[in-house]
Structure 1
C-alpha cells in the first residue's frame, strides 16, 4: 500500500479542518487511552450523551450479538461490545454527527452517509458470516469513504469541479483527477486518517484497496483477502440500496459475482441483503440518516431479463449466425439519414431505435440496451466522439460495437476516432453494400461476445456451487456435531492466530476455559441424553453471551474455551463472571425434574514471556483447577493460581 506523502498530510492536518471527534466523543477517546480505565468510567461519560447511549445500546442488542436477553444499560452495552469496538463506534458516530452537511455543492452529504451506513451494516454482517472476528468491521464500513468527505470539506469548490468532471467514470479516473488537483486522493487520505486514529494496519489496507481489491494482491483465502472483498461487496450492496429503481437492474448481477468470490451463493446473498436493508432502515431512524423502501432481493432478481435476449427465429434454429438480429441505436441529428437507416435496418430483421444527439443517445443506451451503435460524428450538444468516449467509461458501453459516420476520411480524423473507442467507420455518402458488410463484422463480434458471456455465466454458476460445497465441507471439518460450536481444531487454530496477532501488535489477549461442574453426576443420574441436552444448553448460553470479537469452541467433553481478543485480564474476569451468573440462573429439562448447571471458569492473559500459545492454555487450565478446588461455581484469574 502506497502511503500518502507525510508532509502533504501534515499540511492538510495543519488547516484544522480534517474530520475529527469533538465533545463527548473526544473526551471518551482520551479517557480510553488511560491504562486504568474501567467500564464504569466509560459508561458514566457515555451517559452524558443520550443519543450516543441509545446508539451503543442498539448496537449491543443488534442481531450480530444474538443476546439471550435485551441489553438495557450503558455499562452492560459497553461490556458486551468491548472497549476497542466502543472506541471505534464513538469515533464513527461522532464524525457522522459533525459532518452531515457541507459547502461542496456537488457532494451529496445525505446520500454519502446513507451509503456509508449501509456499507457498515453489510460489512458487519459479512464479517459475522465469514467468521473473520474483526470487531471494527462496522466502523470500517462506516468510514470507508472518509477520504471523499475530507476532500469535500477541505476544498469544497475545487472538489465540486473534480466530481462533475469524473461523473460516471470509474474510481481510477476519480483518483487520477484528485491526484492532479490535490496531490493526493481519497483512498490515501482515508488511510492516513485511520492510521492517525489508531486503526489496525489490516483494516487500513482493506479500506485503501476496497474499490479495486485485485490491486491489493492479497492471497486468496487469507483474512486480508476476505476483509477487502467483503468491504468491496458491502459497498456494491450499499450503492444498490441508495440507487433508483432503474439503476438497480444494472447493479444486481455484479453482486452475485462478488459474492461468489467469498463463497456466498445467490440464495444466501439475497437473504443476507434483505437483512442488511432491514437493519439499514432501522439504523437510519436512529442516526437520522435517509433510507428508502426496497423490494426483496428475490423480487428484484425475478424482474431481471435473461442474460442474453434471443430472437424467436434464432431460438428455432432457422437464423444463420451471420444474420443474427441486433438491437441497433441510430444517433444522428439529420432526420432524413436517421429515418433511412431505420427503415433499411428494420427491413433486415433488426430492432432499431434512434436519438438526435449524443446526450439523448446515452439515455437511449440505458433504456434499450442496444448491441450496436451507428452514430454521426458532427452533432449539436454532444458529438459522436464525445458520445463514444462517454460510453466507453461505463460497463455496458464498453461492450457495444460502435460505427461512426464521417464526411471526411483523412488519417488524423480516423486516428482520433479509433483512439476514442470507435470500432469501425463509414464515409458519407455510403453504399448499402458497404454498410451491410460493416454490419456483418459487428454481428460476428457481438455474437462472439455473447457466447463468451454465456460461458462466463456458466463458470460463475459452477463456481458458486463449488463455493457452497467447499464451505459446507470446511464447516463440517471444524464444527462439533453435538453443540454445533467450532471444535477443538478450530479453537486451537484460532488461538494460535490471535496469539501471533497479540505478539506482533502488542494488543491484549485473554483466554478462558469453562468446565461444567459435576457433569458426570448429571450423566449418571439422568442418563447421557440429558447430558447431551446440558452440553447443547451450555453451548447456547456461551454463543448468546459472546461478543462480536470472541471465539467460542468446545474443546472436549464438558469443557469449552472462549478466546477474547483485545481484552485485558480484569475485563475478561468481569466477562467470565457475567457468564457464570448466566449459567447459575439457567435450568435444563431432565424428565420431570429441572436441573441447574453451574460452571467453573479459569481466566488467563497473554504475557510476552510465554514461549508458546499452549502456555496461555496452561495458565487458564491452572486457574480452572483452582476454581474447582475452591468449591466450584467460581471464576479464578491466573494471578491467583497455584500451579498443580
Structure 2
C-alpha cells in the first residue's frame, strides 16, 4: 500500500514485493500474458509489471495481500509457513544457479521455481479437508497418494497452472520433474534436461536448508546434493547456497515475512541461520489505536477490560504494517493537528477491500457539526471522546462485535463457495485436459493439435510469423502388432512418444494424431534448421532399442515437412502438403524425410 501510494515507486521495488508471493506472482504473469496477443511469453515479474502497469499491479497486490490473508490457513495439516519459505528460497537458489550456468534467463528461472510447487497450495485451497486427511497419514510418496486420491499430483497440477499463467512449456514441463528428474525422459545434456536438474538442485538445496525430506549420511549429517549435470563443483554450490541464504534473510527482513529456522548446513555461517520469529496471532477481537499525539493511552488501558486486544501505532506507515500482520476488525483514530490528515487516513483505509469491512471509530473531543460531518463523510462508523467511561465504551463497540460475527459467517460461506467453485473449475480443467490428451502416450491429441494450429495460424496472419508442420509415421507398425501383439505396439508408441518429446526445441510441440501417426508444430523460420531437427528425430528413433518381454524392438519413422507459403489460404492446405510429403517418404522406401515446397516434393533424408 505504501509503494502504491508513492509516485516515486520503481518497477524494481514493486517487483521485489510481488516476488515474495508465488500465488500473486502467478496471477500477475497470467494477467500479463493474457494481454500479450501472441508475442513472446512474459516470464519475469519485472516484465509483467511493465506490461500491465504499476497501478494495476498495485491494485492486484493490495487486493490479494489483504483479501487472501484471512483464508490462508484453512487446510489444517498443510504447513503454509513451510510452503512460503521453501518457495521463496527455491526461487532465489534457481536464480543464482541460472546466473552461474546460463541455462535460461535468471529472472525467468526465479518466477518458475517460485511457483513450481504451487500445486500443493492449490490442493490445500481446493480440497482443505480431504488434503488435510491425506497429509496427516504421512504417505511415503505424497505424489502417488495424491494421484490415488485425486487422479493427479501436485507436480502435474503445478505444471498446468504454470502453463495457464503463460510460462513457456519448456519451463513448465521442466519444473514438473523437479522432484524426480530421471522421470522426465529428456536426453542427457539437452537444454530441457539441464533445466530439470537445475530445478531439482534448487529443490534439494531448499529441502536441505529447511530440513524437509533431506537425505542424511550414515553419521546423520545432511548431505550436499551433487551438481555434476550442471558442471558445478561442491564449492560452487556452497557459494551459491550461502549467497541465496543471505538474500533470503534480507527478503524476510525487508518484507517482514515469517520464516522458519534453518538446518545446520555444511560450511555456512551462523548468521545465515538466525531468523526472525514470526508474529504470534492474538486471540479475540483486535484493535489498532492510531494517534500521532499519543492521546490514546487511557483508551488503550480500557480496551483489555472489555476483551479487546489493543495495539498502538504512531503513524500511517506503522498502521499499515500492523494491519497486514493482524488484520484488525476495529480501528480507533485519534486527534490530529491537521484535520484533513485524519480524513485522508480514513479514506485510504476505506479504499481497500479489507478496509471496507473495518469498524472505524474517531476520537473527537471538541465535537462540532462540521468536524463530525467531515469525519462521517471520510468513512467513520462512530465517534467517541477520549474521556469515555468503560461502560459507555463497551456499549459503543457492540455494533463492531455484531459486524465481526456477520463477517465471520460471511467469510465461512464465501470460503465454502470458493472451494466449490475451485473444485468445479479444476474438475472442468481436468476433463478438458483429458479430452485434449492421448491417454496412452500422454501427448496432446488430434483435437489439441487442430486447436493449436488454428491459434498459430491466426498469430501467423497477424504478425507474419513462420509456421511449419512435420508429419511423422512409424514404419511397418502393423508388423509389430501382428507379430508381438498390441501390448508390444503400445509399448512402442509410448517409447517413440518419449523420444520425440525429449528432442523438442523450445518453440516446438508434438502430438499423437491417431494410430502410429504424430505431428510436430514448429515456429522455426529457417527451413535448414527445420530439416536438421527432422533428421535428428529420424536418427533418434532409428537408434531406439525397445525392450519388450526379453525381445528388442527397433523401428524407424518417415517424415513429411511443409512450411506455410504465401499461397496458402487456410491451414488445411499446410496439413495436406505435409501429409502428401509423408506419403512420398513412405512410398520411397520409408525411414526418409520429404519436404513439400511450391507444389514440389523433395526427398531429403536417406537411411544412414
The verdict on a shared fold, with TM-score over 0.5 as the criterion, is yes
SS at structure 1 position matched to 2:584:
helix
Quote the residue 2:248 is aligned against.
Answer: 292
Distance 1:451 1:371 in 2: 14
Matched, 1:171 2:129: no
Structure 1 residues 285 and 514: CA distance shift in structure 2, 3 A: farther
Structure 1 residues 118 and 485: CA distance shift in structure 2, 3 A: same
Quote the residue 1:137 is aligned against.
Answer: 41
Structure 1 residues 565 and 331: CA distance shift in structure 2, 3 A: same
Quote the residue 1:320 is aligned against.
Answer: none
Distance 2:476 2:370 in 1: 90
Quote the residue 2:480 is aligned against.
Answer: 522
Structure 1 residues 291 and 364: CA distance shift in structure 2, 3 A: closer
Distance 1:355 1:142 in 2: 33
- Structure 2 counterparts to residues 500-511 of structure 1, below 5 A: 500-511=458-469
What whole-Å deviation, never above 9, does each CA across 1:482-510 have from its counterpart, x for those lacking one? 21212222222222332233233322110
What whole-Å deviation, never above 9, does each CA across 1:333-382 have from its counterpart, x for those lacking one? 6778523x344433333333334555554444344432111221236999
Distance 1:402 1:124 in 2: 32
Matched, 1:542 2:500: yes
Superposition deviation, residue 520 in structure 1? 1.6
Superposition deviation, residue 393 in structure 1? 5.4
Superposition deviation, residue 537 in structure 1? 0.7
What whole-Å deviation, never above 9, does each CA across 1:564-621 have from its counterpart, x for those lacking one? 1354543322221111111122111133332222100000112232343222111011
Quote the residue 2:285 is aligned against.
Answer: 326
Distance 1:281 1:118 in 2: 21
- Counterpart contact for 1:378–1:384, Cα < 8 Å: yes
Distance 1:116 1:429 in 2: 46
Once structures 1 and 2 are overlaid, which stretch shifts more, 602-611 or 533-542?
A: 602-611
Structure 1 residues 111 and 515: CA distance shift in structure 2, 3 A: same
SS at structure 2 position matched to 1:511:
strand
Structure 1 residues 528 and 108: CA distance shift in structure 2, 3 A: closer
Distance 2:526 2:313 in 1: 67
Point out where structure 2 has 5 or more consecutive residues left out of the alignment: 1-6, 64-86, 93-113, 132-152, 163-171, 179-197, 203-229, 231-238, 261-280, 604-608
- Counterpart contact for 1:281–1:291, Cα < 8 Å: no
Quote the residue 2:415 is aligned against.
Answer: 457
Matched, 1:369 2:331: no
Quote the residue 1:201 is aligned against.
Answer: none
- Counterpart contact for 1:622–1:642, Cα < 8 Å: no
Matched, 1:475 2:433: yes
SS at structure 1 position matched to 2:522:
strand
Quote the residue 2:381 is aligned against.
Answer: 423
Distance 1:425 1:171 in 2: 33
Distance 2:410 2:25 in 1: 35
Structure 1 residues 123 and 365: CA distance shift in structure 2, 3 A: closer
Quote the residue 1:187 is aligned against.
Answer: none
- Counterpart contact for 2:295–2:334, Cα < 8 Å: no
What whole-Å deviation, never above 9, does each CA across 1:5-46 have from its counterpart, x for those lacking one? xxxxxxxxxxxxxxxxxxxxxxxxxxxxxxxxxxxxxxxxxx
Distance 2:405 2:295 in 1: 30
Aligned pairs, how many? 427
Quote the residue 1:23 is aligned against.
Answer: none
- Counterpart contact for 1:117–1:280, Cα < 8 Å: no
SS at structure 1 position matched to 2:413:
helix
- Counterpart contact for 2:12–2:46, Cα < 8 Å: no
Distance 1:271 1:384 in 2: 45
Matched, 1:598 2:502: no
Quote the residue 2:297 is aligned against.
Answer: 338
- Structure 2 counterparts to residues 210-229 of structure 1, below 5 A: none
Distance 1:456 1:110 in 2: 33
Q: Which has the higher contact order (CA 8 A, sep 6+)?
A: 1
Superposition deviation, residue 256 in structure 1? 9.7
What whole-Å deviation, never above 9, does each CA across 1:204-250 have from its counterpart, x for those lacking one? xxxxxx9899xxxxxxxxxxxxxxxxxxxxxxx989978xxxxxxxx
Quote the residue 1:641 is aligned against.
Answer: 601
Superposition deviation, residue 636 in structure 1? 1.0
Quote the residue 2:270 is aligned against.
Answer: none
Structure 1 residues 480 and 310: CA distance shift in structure 2, 3 A: same
Structure 1 residues 174 and 495: CA distance shift in structure 2, 3 A: closer
Distance 1:239 1:113 in 2: 14
Superposition deviation, residue 454 in structure 1? 1.7
Question: Pairwise CA RMSD of aligned residues?
Answer: 5.3
Structure 1 residues 357 and 575: CA distance shift in structure 2, 3 A: closer
Structure 1 residues 397 and 292: CA distance shift in structure 2, 3 A: same
- Counterpart contact for 1:507–1:566, Cα < 8 Å: no
Point out where structure 1 has 5 or more consecutive residues left out of the alignment: 1-103, 150-169, 176-209, 214-236, 243-250, 301-308, 312-324
- Counterpart contact for 2:28–2:48, Cα < 8 Å: no
Distance 2:330 2:55 in 1: 26
Matched, 1:589 2:493: no
Quote the residue 1:561 is aligned against.
Answer: 519
Distance 1:281 1:472 in 2: 30
- Counterpart contact for 1:115–1:239, Cα < 8 Å: no
Matched, 1:439 2:397: yes
